[in-house]
Amino acid sequence: MIHTPICELLGIEYPIIQGGMAWVADASLASAVSNAGGLGVIAGMNSNAEQLRAEIRKCREMTDRPFGVNVMLMSPFVEEVARTVIEEHVPVLTTGAGNPGKYMAAWLEAGIKVLPVVASTGFARLVEKRGARAVIAEGAESGGHIGELHTMALVPQVCDSVKIPVLAAGGIADGRGIAAALMLGADGVQVGTRFLVAKECTISQVYKDKVLKAKDIDTIVTGIRTGDTVRSLKSNFSRTFAKKENDPSITKEELERLGTGALRLAAREGDEANGCFLAGECSGLVNKEQTAKEMIQEMFLEAEQILKGASNRIR
Ligand code: TUI
Protein backbone atom coordinates (compact mmCIF):
# COMPACT_ATOMS: atom_id res chain seq x y z
CA MET A 1 0.00 0.00 0.00
CA ILE A 2 1.30 3.44 -0.90
CA HIS A 3 0.76 5.79 2.02
CA THR A 4 2.24 9.28 2.34
CA PRO A 5 1.77 12.37 4.56
CA ILE A 6 -0.85 13.62 2.05
CA CYS A 7 -3.12 10.76 3.18
CA GLU A 8 -2.94 11.98 6.79
CA LEU A 9 -3.31 15.63 5.82
CA LEU A 10 -6.46 15.08 3.75
CA GLY A 11 -7.93 12.02 5.52
CA ILE A 12 -7.75 9.87 2.37
CA GLU A 13 -6.62 6.31 1.59
CA TYR A 14 -4.64 6.83 -1.65
CA PRO A 15 -2.46 9.95 -2.21
CA ILE A 16 -4.41 11.09 -5.27
CA ILE A 17 -6.59 14.11 -5.87
CA GLN A 18 -8.81 14.69 -8.87
CA GLY A 19 -8.28 17.81 -11.00
CA GLY A 20 -11.06 20.38 -10.47
CA MET A 21 -11.86 20.53 -14.18
CA ALA A 22 -14.19 23.34 -15.31
CA TRP A 23 -17.61 22.15 -16.59
CA VAL A 24 -16.50 18.57 -15.83
CA ALA A 25 -15.85 18.10 -12.11
CA ASP A 26 -19.32 17.93 -10.54
CA ALA A 27 -20.70 16.15 -7.47
CA SER A 28 -21.01 12.87 -9.40
CA LEU A 29 -17.30 12.66 -10.28
CA ALA A 30 -16.00 14.20 -7.03
CA SER A 31 -18.05 11.88 -4.80
CA ALA A 32 -16.97 8.83 -6.86
CA VAL A 33 -13.28 9.72 -6.43
CA SER A 34 -13.74 10.37 -2.70
CA ASN A 35 -15.71 7.13 -2.22
CA ALA A 36 -12.85 5.31 -3.98
CA GLY A 37 -10.35 6.62 -1.41
CA GLY A 38 -8.93 9.65 -3.23
CA LEU A 39 -9.89 13.30 -2.86
CA GLY A 40 -12.67 14.30 -5.23
CA VAL A 41 -12.76 17.98 -6.19
CA ILE A 42 -15.72 20.01 -7.44
CA ALA A 43 -14.96 22.71 -10.03
CA GLY A 44 -15.77 26.20 -8.75
CA MET A 45 -14.93 27.78 -12.10
CA ASN A 46 -18.24 27.53 -13.89
CA SER A 47 -20.58 28.10 -10.93
CA ASN A 48 -21.98 31.11 -9.15
CA ALA A 49 -22.58 30.89 -5.39
CA GLU A 50 -25.97 29.18 -5.61
CA GLN A 51 -24.90 26.60 -8.19
CA LEU A 52 -21.76 25.76 -6.22
CA ARG A 53 -23.69 25.51 -2.96
CA ALA A 54 -26.10 23.04 -4.59
CA GLU A 55 -23.22 20.95 -5.97
CA ILE A 56 -21.44 20.85 -2.58
CA ARG A 57 -24.66 19.74 -0.84
CA LYS A 58 -25.27 17.10 -3.52
CA CYS A 59 -21.73 15.80 -3.03
CA ARG A 60 -22.29 15.55 0.74
CA GLU A 61 -25.33 13.37 0.04
CA MET A 62 -23.24 11.10 -2.19
CA THR A 63 -20.21 10.66 0.09
CA ASP A 64 -19.31 10.78 3.79
CA ARG A 65 -15.67 11.20 2.89
CA PRO A 66 -13.66 14.42 2.52
CA PHE A 67 -13.81 16.26 -0.79
CA GLY A 68 -12.59 19.63 -2.04
CA VAL A 69 -13.52 22.54 -4.28
CA ASN A 70 -11.27 24.09 -6.93
CA VAL A 71 -11.25 27.88 -6.93
CA MET A 72 -10.28 29.03 -10.41
CA LEU A 73 -8.87 32.48 -9.75
CA MET A 74 -9.70 33.86 -13.24
CA SER A 75 -13.38 32.94 -12.84
CA PRO A 76 -15.89 35.80 -13.04
CA PHE A 77 -17.51 34.28 -9.92
CA VAL A 78 -14.31 34.05 -7.86
CA GLU A 79 -15.46 36.42 -5.07
CA GLU A 80 -18.72 34.56 -4.43
CA VAL A 81 -17.03 31.15 -4.78
CA ALA A 82 -14.40 32.23 -2.22
CA ARG A 83 -17.20 33.12 0.26
CA THR A 84 -19.40 30.09 -0.46
CA VAL A 85 -16.67 27.55 0.37
CA ILE A 86 -16.39 29.12 3.84
CA GLU A 87 -20.16 29.18 4.39
CA GLU A 88 -20.43 25.53 3.32
CA HIS A 89 -17.49 24.39 5.51
CA VAL A 90 -15.61 22.81 2.60
CA PRO A 91 -12.57 21.10 4.21
CA VAL A 92 -10.08 21.39 1.32
CA LEU A 93 -9.52 23.86 -1.53
CA THR A 94 -7.30 23.68 -4.54
CA THR A 95 -6.66 26.94 -6.40
CA GLY A 96 -5.60 27.47 -9.99
CA ALA A 97 -4.62 29.99 -12.65
CA GLY A 98 -3.45 32.72 -10.30
CA ASN A 99 -2.52 33.95 -6.85
CA PRO A 100 -4.93 33.04 -4.01
CA GLY A 101 -3.16 35.48 -1.62
CA LYS A 102 -6.12 37.83 -1.27
CA TYR A 103 -8.38 35.06 0.10
CA MET A 104 -5.87 33.06 2.17
CA ALA A 105 -6.44 34.75 5.56
CA ALA A 106 -10.21 34.18 5.47
CA TRP A 107 -9.85 30.56 4.32
CA LEU A 108 -7.24 29.74 6.97
CA GLU A 109 -9.36 31.43 9.65
CA ALA A 110 -12.21 29.10 8.59
CA GLY A 111 -9.92 26.08 9.07
CA ILE A 112 -9.80 25.23 5.34
CA LYS A 113 -6.73 23.39 4.03
CA VAL A 114 -5.55 25.25 0.93
CA LEU A 115 -3.54 23.48 -1.81
CA PRO A 116 -2.63 25.97 -4.55
CA VAL A 117 -1.54 24.87 -8.01
CA VAL A 118 1.93 26.29 -8.66
CA ALA A 119 3.87 26.49 -11.89
CA SER A 120 7.19 27.78 -10.48
CA THR A 121 9.38 27.47 -7.37
CA GLY A 122 9.05 31.17 -6.46
CA PHE A 123 5.29 30.93 -6.35
CA ALA A 124 5.46 27.68 -4.36
CA ARG A 125 7.60 29.42 -1.72
CA LEU A 126 5.20 32.37 -1.64
CA VAL A 127 2.08 30.28 -1.01
CA GLU A 128 3.92 28.21 1.60
CA LYS A 129 4.63 31.45 3.50
CA ARG A 130 0.96 32.42 3.21
CA GLY A 131 -0.17 29.18 4.87
CA ALA A 132 -0.72 26.62 2.07
CA ARG A 133 -0.73 23.07 3.54
CA ALA A 134 0.62 21.48 0.34
CA VAL A 135 1.23 22.57 -3.26
CA ILE A 136 0.26 20.98 -6.54
CA ALA A 137 3.20 21.34 -8.95
CA GLU A 138 1.45 21.21 -12.31
CA GLY A 139 3.53 20.77 -15.46
CA ALA A 140 2.58 21.94 -18.94
CA GLU A 141 1.65 18.39 -20.03
CA SER A 142 -1.68 19.11 -18.30
CA GLY A 143 -4.90 19.88 -20.03
CA GLY A 144 -6.46 23.30 -19.55
CA HIS A 145 -4.63 26.40 -18.36
CA ILE A 146 -0.89 25.73 -18.16
CA GLY A 147 2.38 27.31 -17.07
CA GLU A 148 5.74 27.05 -18.85
CA LEU A 149 7.69 24.31 -17.08
CA HIS A 150 7.05 20.60 -17.50
CA THR A 151 6.43 18.04 -14.76
CA MET A 152 9.81 16.26 -14.91
CA ALA A 153 11.74 19.49 -14.23
CA LEU A 154 9.14 21.36 -12.16
CA VAL A 155 8.33 18.75 -9.50
CA PRO A 156 11.84 18.09 -8.10
CA GLN A 157 12.64 21.81 -8.09
CA VAL A 158 9.44 22.60 -6.19
CA CYS A 159 10.22 19.72 -3.77
CA ASP A 160 13.62 21.32 -3.09
CA SER A 161 12.01 24.73 -2.53
CA VAL A 162 9.34 24.04 0.10
CA LYS A 163 8.91 22.01 3.31
CA ILE A 164 5.20 21.30 2.83
CA PRO A 165 4.12 18.21 0.82
CA VAL A 166 4.10 18.43 -2.97
CA LEU A 167 1.62 16.76 -5.31
CA ALA A 168 2.73 16.24 -8.90
CA ALA A 169 0.37 16.96 -11.81
CA GLY A 170 0.61 16.98 -15.57
CA GLY A 171 1.03 13.89 -17.72
CA ILE A 172 0.07 11.36 -15.02
CA ALA A 173 -2.54 8.79 -16.08
CA ASP A 174 -1.27 5.42 -14.83
CA GLY A 175 0.86 3.65 -12.24
CA ARG A 176 4.07 4.50 -14.06
CA GLY A 177 3.30 8.20 -13.72
CA ILE A 178 2.51 7.81 -10.02
CA ALA A 179 5.72 5.85 -9.38
CA ALA A 180 7.75 8.46 -11.28
CA ALA A 181 6.11 11.32 -9.36
CA LEU A 182 7.00 9.69 -6.04
CA MET A 183 10.60 9.20 -7.24
CA LEU A 184 10.78 12.91 -8.11
CA GLY A 185 10.00 13.63 -4.46
CA ALA A 186 6.25 14.18 -4.62
CA ASP A 187 3.97 12.88 -1.85
CA GLY A 188 1.07 12.30 -4.21
CA VAL A 189 -0.50 13.14 -7.53
CA GLN A 190 -3.31 15.09 -9.11
CA VAL A 191 -4.96 13.37 -12.07
CA GLY A 192 -7.39 15.05 -14.45
CA THR A 193 -7.43 13.62 -17.97
CA ARG A 194 -7.94 9.97 -16.98
CA PHE A 195 -10.99 10.87 -14.89
CA LEU A 196 -12.62 12.47 -17.95
CA VAL A 197 -13.62 8.96 -19.03
CA ALA A 198 -14.70 7.71 -15.60
CA LYS A 199 -18.16 6.14 -15.68
CA GLU A 200 -19.29 8.66 -13.05
CA CYS A 201 -18.02 11.61 -15.13
CA THR A 202 -21.10 13.30 -16.62
CA ILE A 203 -19.54 15.01 -19.66
CA SER A 204 -20.80 14.31 -23.19
CA GLN A 205 -19.95 10.94 -24.75
CA VAL A 206 -18.46 12.88 -27.70
CA TYR A 207 -15.83 14.33 -25.30
CA LYS A 208 -15.09 10.90 -23.78
CA ASP A 209 -14.73 9.31 -27.22
CA LYS A 210 -12.32 12.05 -28.30
CA VAL A 211 -10.08 11.34 -25.28
CA LEU A 212 -10.31 7.56 -25.78
CA LYS A 213 -9.32 7.93 -29.45
CA ALA A 214 -6.58 10.52 -28.94
CA LYS A 215 -2.94 9.66 -29.66
CA ASP A 216 0.22 11.20 -28.20
CA ILE A 217 0.34 14.07 -30.70
CA ASP A 218 -3.33 14.99 -30.58
CA THR A 219 -3.18 17.96 -28.18
CA ILE A 220 -2.38 21.57 -29.03
CA VAL A 221 -1.51 24.67 -27.00
CA THR A 222 -3.34 27.91 -27.84
CA GLY A 223 -3.88 31.29 -26.22
CA ILE A 224 -0.27 32.37 -25.93
CA ARG A 225 -1.21 35.80 -27.36
CA THR A 226 -4.14 36.34 -24.96
CA GLY A 227 -2.01 35.30 -21.98
CA ASP A 228 -4.40 32.43 -21.26
CA THR A 229 -2.37 29.46 -22.44
CA VAL A 230 -4.53 26.36 -22.72
CA ARG A 231 -3.93 22.75 -23.83
CA SER A 232 -6.79 21.01 -25.57
CA LEU A 233 -7.44 18.21 -28.05
CA LYS A 234 -6.90 19.21 -31.67
CA SER A 235 -10.32 20.06 -33.08
CA ASN A 236 -12.11 22.37 -35.43
CA PHE A 237 -12.21 24.97 -32.62
CA SER A 238 -8.53 24.73 -31.65
CA ARG A 239 -7.32 24.84 -35.27
CA THR A 240 -9.46 27.90 -36.03
CA PHE A 241 -8.29 29.57 -32.81
CA ALA A 242 -4.62 28.81 -33.59
CA LYS A 243 -4.99 30.28 -37.10
CA LYS A 244 -6.67 33.45 -35.83
CA GLU A 245 -4.08 33.80 -33.09
CA ASN A 246 -1.38 34.02 -35.75
CA ASP A 247 -3.36 36.60 -37.73
CA PRO A 248 -2.29 40.07 -36.52
CA SER A 249 -5.52 41.64 -37.84
CA ILE A 250 -7.55 39.73 -35.21
CA THR A 251 -7.64 41.58 -31.87
CA LYS A 252 -7.10 40.06 -28.43
CA GLU A 253 -10.75 40.86 -27.58
CA GLU A 254 -11.98 38.95 -30.66
CA LEU A 255 -9.88 35.95 -29.62
CA GLU A 256 -11.24 36.08 -26.08
CA ARG A 257 -14.82 36.22 -27.43
CA LEU A 258 -14.10 33.17 -29.58
CA GLY A 259 -13.12 31.20 -26.46
CA THR A 260 -16.14 32.18 -24.40
CA GLY A 261 -18.55 29.31 -23.91
CA ALA A 262 -16.37 26.79 -25.75
CA LEU A 263 -15.61 24.73 -22.63
CA ARG A 264 -19.31 24.34 -21.82
CA LEU A 265 -20.11 23.44 -25.43
CA ALA A 266 -17.52 20.65 -25.31
CA ALA A 267 -18.33 19.23 -21.88
CA ARG A 268 -22.10 19.63 -21.72
CA GLU A 269 -23.23 19.68 -25.37
CA GLY A 270 -20.53 17.57 -27.07
CA ASP A 271 -20.39 20.24 -29.78
CA GLU A 272 -17.62 18.97 -32.10
CA ALA A 273 -17.57 22.12 -34.24
CA ASN A 274 -17.48 24.83 -31.57
CA GLY A 275 -16.36 23.08 -28.38
CA CYS A 276 -12.93 23.34 -26.74
CA PHE A 277 -12.06 19.85 -25.44
CA LEU A 278 -9.46 20.41 -22.72
CA ALA A 279 -7.23 17.37 -22.16
CA GLY A 280 -3.61 16.63 -21.30
CA GLU A 281 -0.75 15.08 -23.26
CA CYS A 282 -1.42 11.77 -21.51
CA SER A 283 -4.73 11.39 -23.42
CA GLY A 284 -2.95 8.75 -25.52
CA LEU A 285 -2.61 6.62 -22.36
CA VAL A 286 -6.34 6.76 -21.64
CA ASN A 287 -7.97 3.91 -23.52
CA LYS A 288 -10.84 2.57 -21.44
CA GLU A 289 -13.88 3.71 -19.52
CA GLN A 290 -13.88 2.46 -15.93
CA THR A 291 -15.34 3.51 -12.61
CA ALA A 292 -13.20 5.96 -10.62
CA LYS A 293 -12.61 3.14 -8.12
CA GLU A 294 -11.30 0.78 -10.80
CA MET A 295 -9.01 3.53 -12.11
CA ILE A 296 -7.55 4.34 -8.69
CA GLN A 297 -7.06 0.72 -7.68
CA GLU A 298 -5.44 -0.16 -11.02
CA MET A 299 -3.10 2.86 -10.95
CA PHE A 300 -1.91 2.24 -7.38
CA LEU A 301 -1.47 -1.51 -7.86
CA GLU A 302 0.70 -0.80 -10.89
CA ALA A 303 2.70 1.90 -9.05
CA GLU A 304 3.30 -0.44 -6.12
CA GLN A 305 4.50 -3.25 -8.39
CA ILE A 306 6.88 -0.88 -10.19
CA LEU A 307 8.30 0.53 -6.97
CA LYS A 308 8.70 -2.92 -5.38
CA GLY A 309 10.44 -4.23 -8.50
CA ALA A 310 12.73 -1.22 -8.89
CA SER A 311 15.54 -2.69 -6.77
CA ASN A 312 15.86 -5.60 -9.26
CA ARG A 313 17.48 -3.12 -11.61
CA ILE A 314 20.31 -2.41 -9.19
CA ARG A 315 23.36 -4.72 -9.05
O1 TUI B 1 -6.40 26.20 -13.59
C2 TUI B 1 -5.89 25.28 -14.20
N3 TUI B 1 -6.42 24.76 -15.32
C4 TUI B 1 -7.57 25.18 -15.91
S5 TUI B 1 -8.60 26.36 -15.34
C6 TUI B 1 -9.60 26.21 -16.66
S7 TUI B 1 -11.00 27.13 -16.88
C8 TUI B 1 -10.62 28.22 -18.12
N9 TUI B 1 -9.44 28.25 -18.62
C10 TUI B 1 -9.16 29.10 -19.59
C11 TUI B 1 -10.07 29.96 -20.09
C12 TUI B 1 -11.28 29.93 -19.59
C13 TUI B 1 -11.58 29.06 -18.58
C14 TUI B 1 -9.12 25.25 -17.46
N15 TUI B 1 -8.00 24.68 -17.02
N16 TUI B 1 -4.75 24.70 -13.75
C17 TUI B 1 -4.06 25.20 -12.63
C18 TUI B 1 -2.89 26.00 -13.02
N19 TUI B 1 -2.53 27.07 -12.39
N20 TUI B 1 -2.03 25.75 -14.03
C21 TUI B 1 -1.09 26.72 -14.00
C22 TUI B 1 -1.42 27.56 -12.96
C23 TUI B 1 -0.73 28.71 -12.48
C24 TUI B 1 0.08 29.43 -13.33
C25 TUI B 1 0.74 30.55 -12.85
C26 TUI B 1 -0.91 29.11 -11.16
C27 TUI B 1 -0.27 30.26 -10.70
C28 TUI B 1 0.54 30.95 -11.57
O29 TUI B 1 1.22 32.08 -11.18
C30 TUI B 1 0.69 32.86 -10.16
C31 TUI B 1 1.52 34.08 -9.96
O32 TUI B 1 0.95 35.07 -9.48
O33 TUI B 1 2.71 34.06 -10.31
**Residue pLDDT, tens place only, 152-191:** 999 999 999 999 999 999 999 999 999 999 999 999 999 9
Whether residue 157 is contained in a domain is answered as yes
Tell me the whole-structure pTM to 2 decimals. Answer: 0.97
Q: Say what the pLDDT of residue 257 is.
A: 77
Whether residue 208 is contained in a domain is answered as no
Ligand 1 within 6 A of 119 CB? yes
pLDDT in tens, 27-76: 999 999 999 999 999 999 888 999 999 999 999 999 999 999 999 999 99
What is the position in ligand 1's atom list of the atom closest to the CA of 70? 1
Q: Say what the pLDDT of residue 234 is.
A: 97
Ligand 1 within 6 A of 22 CB? yes
In this structure, the residue with its CA closest to atom 29 of ligand 1 is 98
User: What is the best residue among 45, 145, 257 to mutate for testing ligand 1's pocket, by most ligand atoms within 8 Å of CB?
Assistant: 145
Whether residue 283 is contained in a domain is answered as no
Do 149 and 259 fall within a single domain?
no
Do 163 and 70 fall within a single domain?
yes
Do 51 and 176 fall within a single domain?
yes
Do 68 and 186 fall within a single domain?
yes
Q: Say what the pLDDT of residue 209 is.
A: 98
Give the integer Cα–Cα distance in Å for 164 and 5.
10
Do 130 and 262 fall within a single domain?
no
Do 129 and 261 fall within a single domain?
no
CATH number, domain of 117, equals 3.20.20.70
Do 294 and 266 fall within a single domain?
no
Q: Supply the range of the domain harboring residue 297.
A: 5-201+288-313
User: What is the best residue among 104, 117, 142, 238 to mutate for testing ligand 1's pocket, by most ligand atoms within 8 Å of CB?
Assistant: 117
**What is the secondary structure of 224-272 as a DSSP string?**
TTTT--EEEE--HHHHHHHHHHT-TTS-HHHHHHHHTTHHHIIIII--T
Whether residue 209 is contained in a domain is answered as no
Do 36 and 85 fall within a single domain?
yes
The ranges of the chain with pLDDT < 70 are none
In angstroms, what is the span from residue 14 Cα to ligand 1's centroid? 25
Whether residue 46 is contained in a domain is answered as yes
Do 11 and 75 fall within a single domain?
yes
Q: Say what the pLDDT of residue 87 is.
A: 98
